[in-house]
Amino acid sequence: MKLPEGLAGVIVDQTRISSTKNEILTYAGYPITELKDVPYEEIVFLLWNLRLPTESELVSFRRELVSQMKLPAETVRLMERIAREPQHPMSILRTTVSLLGTTNDNEHDEPPRILAKMLTAVAAIIRIRNDQPIKRSKPDFGVVENFIYLFSGKRPTAEQVKMLNTVMVLHADHEFNASAFTARVVASTQSDYYSCLTTAVCSLKGPLHGGANEQVFKMLETIKQTGQDPLEYVERQLESGQKIMGFGHRVYKHGDPRAAILREIARKISYETGNEAYFEMEEQIRDFMFEKTHLHPNVDYYTAVIYHCFNLDRDTFTTMFAACRTAGWLAHIMEQREEGCLIRPSSEYIGETNRHYHADKEAHLNE
């Protein structure tokens, strides 16, 4: 029996964290459309506890996360060296996560502290690569406000916080995606949190998973810088068999619900920052792609323009995805560890059989 390509549609385990059943994304049973404006900290609490926090719990949880948005001094010293190397930022993040697993009493690190460190590490990588000093979090800022401040160096407006909060909520989790499942496999061995997160980062780096947002903006930049007609460019790519990144989804055949929300954010922020040409180009390509292929934009398509409007370099887009998705990764790691069962699937062998070493060696010698 031939299995579906990429195990598409194959149920490998159960989860209470999130679902994409019937092409509707829900977090612990709540539709994402009802959660898009909920504070990020509340979404993290929901994913980790499978219930909404009380007001006092939310205040306490937010305070705990913000208080931990700092990195060990020894980690910073090493980061300042490796982050300047001509490597992809996701490679630097991969090494940084591994470093965090070897410093500062990491055996006692729990998810709130780990998430806070991850957000701070991503911001620090962005700052170091821009030859800017690393900032320290502000105790009176929320998590998202602090995150923007840490990577930009400026206090964001309330509107900027609201927009990035929604982006982070929409990226927080997505059922058994490649990186979450990778983290769960490692977690099933009872390995530590940082080992699990390192493998998740490695998985997210690939262009078919988290790296797609970078490829979307690379396309837009190429079209703009070369003065090409967007539709002619896309048509040539399709005719040559190239994949147009940011379109189609294995789960959402009738449109990614996250993309619909992100589209409005991309529209708003692009016009507010003088980047409307990129958004208008996306709209042209969106209509053309649906006409030609019946594919809809996915979560990566509009996120690319949004990140650009936050003055982020294209090669850091996937690290932003990692920052947002860490909450979900940690939720899956915790759930898998509680399950206490090693993930060890079987495979169907389809190679050669009835081969014998000595007979084959003798045959080769006689040739």
Q: Which residues are catalytic, by number? A: 249, 300
Instruction: Output the six-digit token pair for 144.
Output: 């998202």
The whole-angstrom distance between residue 252's C-alpha and the CA centroid of its chain comes to 17
Q: Label residue 343 left, alpha or beta by phi (over 0 means left) and psi (-120 to 50 means alpha).
A: beta
Helix (H) or strand (E) holding 329: helix 317-339
DSSP state of 27: E
Provide the token pair at 302.
């509009």
CB 166 within 8 A of CB 261: yes
Q: In sequence order, which residues have a C-beta less than 8 Å from that of residue 253 and are 6 or more positions away? A: 23
Inter-residue long-range contacts of 235-239, CB under 8 Å, 24+ positions, other chains counted: 235/288, 235/292, 238/292, 238/293
What are the angstrom distances between the C-alpha of 276 and each of 57, 233, 282? 40, 19, 10
Work out the burial of residue 37: count CB atoms within 10 Å of its CB; fewer than 13 is exposed, 13-18 middle, 19 or more buried. exposed
Q: Are 298 and 340 in contact (CB under 8 A)?
A: no
Handedness of CA 281, 283, 287, 289 (dihedral sign): positive
The single-letter code of the amino acid at 60 is: S
Alpha-carbon distance of 251 to 18, in angstroms, equals 14
Query: Position of tokens 């509707």?
Result: 24
Q: Both tokens of residue 75?
A: 């980690």
